[in-house]
């Protein structure tokens, strides 16, 4: 498995651009078959280290308490989720690096799986010790343009004792995967299909959660960012 993933990067540590690359094809086909895929070693290690350092450099007022629901349904409910977030912006160089990588991934997904993904939005998330996110779906059929969820973990040396696992459930409520939020792991899943939750973290946990979206804007209504 690791061999496959190493081959996602060339000698310069860049994501390889050859769409015939077998590693990409295997990953994308797994996503198509099961609806989710787990990719360890997603970024070159210097990039993930830089991203992690960047999150450590943020000040308290760079974060806001995360809400639940979209637009007018947006409320903060700390019984459901208790993480803090920060939407990534292309104008900030440290944040643009990740946005650019994910846009590259968007183009590849469209080429291989014809997904028609239009754009990508994402936020950093910080779960302090004691924080969690109860079972939820990221998108409801016909009510959201979120198609694919991505979660990328930034935490060096995360162990099972630290909690904060992402649990992905199947259609009968069975546990499909329990994933430790270890640095440089990317999880991708269909937003409308998989109920998931973040178990209580026992130490500070950093991640970037994002969504590839369809374009549902029209002349009368432009999609808001969140
Ligand atoms: O951080 C994670 O593992 C998942 C976060 C999540 O489910 C969300 O932000 O919607
Ligand atoms: Fe979620």
- On whether residue 69 sits in a domain, the answer given is no
3-state secondary structure of 60: helix
Q: Which domain holds residue 187?
A: 2-64+79-213
- What strand order describes the sheet that includes 146-153? 36-39, 186-190, 146-153, 205-213, 119-127, 84-87, 64-65
pLDDT at 15: 60
CATH number, domain with residue 48: 2.60.120.620
Provide the b/e sequence for 69-91 (b: ≥16 CB within 10 Å): ebeeeeeeeeebbbbbbbebeee
- On whether residue 220 sits in a domain, the answer given is no
Closest ligand 1 atom to residue 209 Cα is 9
- On whether residue 208 sits in a domain, the answer given is yes
β-bridge partners, 51: none
pTM, rounded to two decimals:
0.87
pLDDT at 222: 53
| Chain mean position to CA 106 | 13
Phi, psi of 216, rounded to the nearest 5 degrees: -115, 15
Radius of gyration of the chain (CA): 17
For the chain, what is the domain count? 1
pLDDT at 2: 38
- On whether residue 226 sits in a domain, the answer given is no
pLDDT at 72: 60
pLDDT at 163: 98
- On whether residue 73 sits in a domain, the answer given is no
- On whether residue 52 sits in a domain, the answer given is yes
Q: In testing the pocket of ligand 1, which one of 65, 81, 88, 125 has its CB within 8 Å of the most ligand atoms?
A: 125
- On whether residue 131 sits in a domain, the answer given is yes
Q: How far apart are CA 226 and CA 206, in angstroms?
A: 20
pLDDT tens across the length of the chain (226 residues): 333 344 455 555 556 544 447 888 899 999 999 999 999 999 999 999 999 999 999 999 999 988 776 656 667 677 788 899 999 999 999 999 999 999 999 999 998 888 899 999 999 999 999 999 999 999 887 777 999 999 999 999 999 999 999 999 999 999 999 999 999 999 999 999 999 999 999 999 999 999 999 987 655 555 554 4
Closest ligand 1 atom to residue 181 Cα is 3
The question of ipTM being above 0.90 is answered as yes
First to last CA, the chain: 35
pLDDT at 223: 52
pLDDT at 24: 82
- On whether residue 74 sits in a domain, the answer given is no
CB atoms within 10 A of CB 124: 25
């Amino acid at each position: 498995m690791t061999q496959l993933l190493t081959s996602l990067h060339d000698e310069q540590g860049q994501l390889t651009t050859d769409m015939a690359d077998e590693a990409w094809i295997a990953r994308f086909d797994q996503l198509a078959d099961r609806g989710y895929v787990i990719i360890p070693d997603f970024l070159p290690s210097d990039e993930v280290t830089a991203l992690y350092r960047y999150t450590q450099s943020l000040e308290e007022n760079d974060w806001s308490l995360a809400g639940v629901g979209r637009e007018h349904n947006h409320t903060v409910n700390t019984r459901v989720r208790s993480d803090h977030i920060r939407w990534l912006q292309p104008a900030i160089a440290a944040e643009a690096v990740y946005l650019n990588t994910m846009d590259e991934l968007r183009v590849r997904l469209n080429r291989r799986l014809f997904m028609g993904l239009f754009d990508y939005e994402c936020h950093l998330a910080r779960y302090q010790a004691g924080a969690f996110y109860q079972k939820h779906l990221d998108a409801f059929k016909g009510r959201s343009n979120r198609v694919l969820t991505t979660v990328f973990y930034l935490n060096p040396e995360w162990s099972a004792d630290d909690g904060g696992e992402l649990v992905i459930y199947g259609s009968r409520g069975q546990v499909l995967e329990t994933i430790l939020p270890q640095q440089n792991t990317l999880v991708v899943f269909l937003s409308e299909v998989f109920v998931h939750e973040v178990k209580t973290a026992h130490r500070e946990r950093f991640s970037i959660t994002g969504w590839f979206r369809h374009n549902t804007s029209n002349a009368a209504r432009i999609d808001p960012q969140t």
